[in-house]
Amino acid sequence: MANQRASCKGKSSATFYSNGCRCRGCREAWRQYKEEDQTKKRKSVRRDTPIVEHDAFTREQILAARANR
């Protein structure tokens, strides 16, 4: 309890950790919160990533187009 700036008074949470409490319970709550946050980020859809549009045809695409004529 000596490392606390803002005491959680026995009610450990990630919020108290971010406010400065460094008791064992708050550190564990923060670790668990961050793990859950990371798994959410991994499962999210990457909607902001643009689809790459090619500005030129590759050799294979040209040969395939010629074969289909």
Chain segment 3-33, per-residue pLDDT in tens: 445 678 888 888 888 888 889 899 999 999 9
Between residues 68 and 1, which one has the greater pLDDT?
68
Three state DSSP letters for 6-61: CCCCCCCCHHHHHCCCCCHHHHHHHHHHHHHHHHHHHHCCCCCCCCCCCCCCCHHH
- Across 43-61, average pLDDT: 73
The answer to whether residue 26 is domain-embedded is yes
The answer to whether residue 59 is domain-embedded is no
Domain span at residue 3? 1-45
The answer to whether residue 65 is domain-embedded is no
Domain count, the chain: 1
The answer to whether residue 23 is domain-embedded is yes
Per-residue pLDDT tens for 30-44?
999 998 888 776 665
The answer to whether residue 33 is domain-embedded is yes
The answer to whether residue 11 is domain-embedded is yes
- Across 34-55, average pLDDT: 71
Query: How much is the pLDDT for 66?
Result: 92
